[in-house]
Structure 1
């Protein structure tokens, strides 16, 4: 029997045409599917944000970050069992950025503390996405814990950030902070709490933060106190860090966390002193973007800062001293093992955090009616702290009075270590003694020679002494507020005569 011819028909047994196989999805569609249930939004300054779905809540991050690229890579692997090539990853990031910038959803990102709907929000989560993501909503009428999936704020978290415990109501008092921050007087304790409530105040725009300077003799627990204060606001694995070497690095660090803390600072140059002032009161830094000729990388931020170091480091610079709260720690009477101290702090921290939340709630409730009769410098911050006093359990008026006294002590300490200020005081004392005149007047060149003579050769040859009359004028303008408040010496300047000769005067008020 001859072999039957093979059936090459495309039909099935009934003669029907086979089903056409579904076309494989294009790579572009696969990549777009990765972003299908992620929230993409733009920031007020034109950045791109992604809210990545994770265990029922959203993890917010900037699109142009390693964390976002890692999230894409992990998701693609879980769905397709393969890795993303560099080209595909770049394409997906570009698509996400385009969708975010074209989105009508504009969100303000925050670090640890946020301001939204007339309330302060405190993020309890750390940098690990698997960690706790609840938040505390602090309003004028009180505070409460909000579940992670109900938090409306776009919180960003640095990889080094650590979680905060759930605050406990009525579990601690303001005095309990003394166990970990070794202050001597009630005024200094009040100032420590004043800085905490000021540092916990978020600003959508504008605003200023006082800088906390912790100082004291060796053995007063300065480094430990700084760590405990930091852990109450914005805990991080980066504790005990030194000042960075570059101005750019300082602004990048400030942009990535709420609190900037530096340990064992023994000296600050003019450039970094100006940077700290700009960060405390809201400033920016710009530099040429990498691999470009015309684009700029811009960092604009306002952050609270904590510095542990030698007081003359800050107080010797009037521009920094104007923004600082100086808290001196006393020597430890009894040393304890680190493990014991950390265990005690872990037990006390929820209660201390509850006191902080009480203070913030009181500040929201009382700010509109709080008026300072004799406000110190950083008046807005001092008013906020005074408004929080009721919730902190501190009597009315103590914070503002302690703040004024602190600033006066800081001015005196700054002038005591300032060679130009000492020369000015000596010159005016000579005028009063020899000429019975409470004033000196002359040209900038004459004043430079007079002050240089009073300072002496050793001081005038140091790097800190002004090199010319113009440098002296800059220095005098910086120390003028301290001279006026401490020594009642006022400086004036102008032009006179037919040739417009410049003159300077120093006068006792």
Structure 2
């Protein structure tokens, strides 16, 4: 062929790419490439170690006899493809779990052949999803799951709890409800906090719970030192598990609240002055530790304490993980069976709990199994309220002062007046100095009381803010005790 009849290299690459791949963009403008008929999508600009689109394009061109092309030709072709894709309709990409059509949800098994689990109202199946329904995004944190076993008759649940050291059946119910919640892409779930004495197997139990969802490569991690690294780790996987927490800063506490219920991070895009990079995230979170010190009220409402006890018989790590790895297909199959049963159950949504979606899931769990996950969840929140009060001297002082108010009565003052009042209550007759961290102004006191509102309300003390013509005020009311049930009269 004469030189003038040869197609430029960038045209050869572009024609090949459009014949073998589908290109689309997400809502944030990132362009992805998806091999035709395959559910896994890769960002075309990625240079990740999980395999970039540039690499699969080069391999495809070479294996199909189109030749080996230099970097300039590849860059020019990808620039054109990216520009063309920006005019296409948007489609989301998902990590590990995804919503599907007709009320179904999907679980990515992380396999090269694209096989995934479709969980639908009548059961679950293993199949390759239609790329128009689900686009999977893979990262280094996306481990491979085994093909789950069908018709296990709950055997896998029994194996799982034989390998862990949860204290009682109520704790096991909450762990199961959390795992079911992890299989739902739109259900925010509280963060399990695995706690117990030293040697209770908290880290081992945490790894097992994570690996049921993330595969045997899933593991626990130390908490990052800054929020940016934490968000990067959260955005790259589905379940984020932080091990051996011994202290929780206010910034880390706030970040965990955002991870559980969802938030968006915006930062400047690299090599630009005016563009930004958006990362939206809401992920299941798991924590382990003996004691994290003071728990802030907003995080307490998003935690799920799971207590473990020391085992009477010790086993080697090799023996334990060999048994777990062998049983994982059965455990996953049993979990999927239970998920279908729970989702099919009808139950009312509790309206008094912060994590209403998870409370509804617990109610469905109870309806499907005749167990008591919802009462156990309420009891766990009550225990966390006690922990918040024990770690907060201001909360203790407010409750002490509330006892001077008649049941059903109220007291109204400005925030500054409340500061002086509560400071006198704390100091008492001994005139002891105020502790470090005590509010220094009425504004600081008002902000602290707003955080404590749910905790105080659980103890029958309601704190509200209001305004009159003369200024703002804080009102404290002590709820009346519930009336005793009427006794039936015998005739």
Q: Same fold (TM over 0.5)?
A: yes
Q: Does the 8 A contact of 2:166 with 2:309 survive in 1?
A: yes
| Equivalent residues in 2 for 1:284-433, closer than 5 Å | 284-312=264-292, 316-366=295-345, 369-372=346-349, 376-389=353-366, 394-395=369-370, 398-429=372-403, 431=404
Partner of 1:185: 168
Q: Tell me, yes or no, if structure 1 residue 503 matches structure 2 residue 470.
A: no
Summarize deviations over 1:35-93 as a string: whole Å, max 9, x none.
1311112224433121136xx745311223112233234445544664632x3333233
Aligned to 1:93: 78
Partners of 1:183 and 1:263 lie apart in 2 by 17
Taking the aligned partners of 1:475 and 1:32, their CA distance within structure 2 comes to 60
The 1:494–1:160 alpha-carbon spacing in structure 2 relative to 1, beyond 3 Å, is closer
8 A Cα contact 1:254 1:301, kept in partner: yes
Quick one: distance in 1 between partners of 2:432 and 2:61?
A: 69
Offset at residue 360 of structure 1 (A): 2.2
Q: Is the 8 A contact 2:240 2:283 kept in 1?
A: yes
How far residue 502 of structure 1 moved from its aligned partner, in angstroms, is 3.4
Once the 2 structures are TM-superposed, how far is the Cα of residue 489 of structure 1 from its aligned partner?
1.1
Aligned residue in 2 for 1:84? 70
Q: In structure 1, which of residues 101, 110, 113 is the aligned counterpart of residue 97 of structure 2?
A: 113
CA drift at 1:137: 1.2
Equivalent position of 1:3 in the other structure: none
CA contact (8 A) 1:265 1:309 kept: yes
Q: C-alpha distance in 1, partners of 2:120/2:188?
A: 21
Q: Is the CA contact 2:182–2:284 (under 8 Å) kept in the aligned structure 1?
A: yes
- Give 1:236 shift: 6.5
Q: Which residue of 2 aligns with 1:481?
A: 454
Normalised to the residue count of structure 1, the TM-score between the two structures is: 0.83
Over 3 Å counting, the alpha-carbon distance change for 1:426 and 1:282 in structure 2 is: same
What is the aligned counterpart of 1:443 among 406, 411, 414?
414
Deviation sequence 1:121-161 (CA, Å, 0-9, x none): 111115xxxx4531111111111211578995211111232
For structure 2, which runs of at least 5 residues remain unmatched after alignment? 480-491
Q: 2: distance between equivalents of 1:153 and 1:436?
A: 56
Distance 1:465 1:217 in 2: 31
- In the other structure, the counterpart of 2:5 is 23
- Structure 2 residue aligned with 1:200, among 183, 186, 192? 183
User: What is the count of residue pairs matched by the alignment?
Assistant: 467
Q: Could you tell me how far apart the structure 2 residues matched to 1:321 and 1:491 are?
A: 18
1:153 aligns with 2:134: yes
Q: Which residue of 1 aligns with 2:464?
A: 492
Distance 1:474 1:374 in 2: 25
Cα distance change on mapping 1:385 and 1:94 into 2, 3 Å? farther
Aligned CA distance change for structure 1 residues 387 and 214 (closer, same or farther; 3 Å) = same
1:123 and 1:59 mapped to 2: Cα distance?
10
For the Cα contact (< 8 Å) 1:242–1:263, is it kept in 2?
A: yes
Q: Give yes or no for contact 2:14–2:78 (8 Å, CA) kept in 1.
A: no
Long gaps (5+) in structure 1: 1-18
Q: State the 1:364 CA deviation.
A: 3.5
Quote the residue 1:6 is aligned against. none
Contact 1:119 1:138 in 2 (8 A): yes
CA contact (8 A) 1:143 1:357 kept: yes
Distance in 2 between the 1:38 and 1:60 partners? 10
Rounded to whole Å, the distance in 1 between the matches of 2:38 and 2:199 is 46
Confirm or deny that 1:64 pairs with 2:45.
yes
User: Where does 1:28-67 land on structure 2 (aligned, <5 Å)?
Assistant: 28-35=10-17, 36-52=19-35, 57-66=38-47, 67=52
8 A contact 1:182–1:330 mirrored in 2: yes
The answer (yes or no) to whether the contact 2:141–2:237 under 8 Å persists in 1 is no
Q: Which residue of 2 aligns with 1:230?
A: 210
Judged with a 3 Å threshold, the aligned counterparts in structure 2 of structure 1 residues 68 and 231 are, in CA distance, closer, same or farther, namely same
| 2:438 equivalent in structure 1 | 465
Give the C-alpha shift of residue 373 in structure 1. 6.0
In 1, Cα distance between equivalents of 2:70 and 2:216 = 32
Q: Deviations over 1:174-211 (max 9, x none)?
A: 343322331111111110111111111013xxx52222
The structural deviation recorded for 1:402 is: 1.4
Query: Residues 472-491 of structure 1: CA distance to partner in whole angstroms, max 9, x if unpaired?
Result: 21111111111111x21111
1:210 matched to 2:190? The reply is yes
Q: Which residue of 2 aligns with 1:15?
A: none
Task: State the shift of 1:112 in Å.
Answer: 0.9
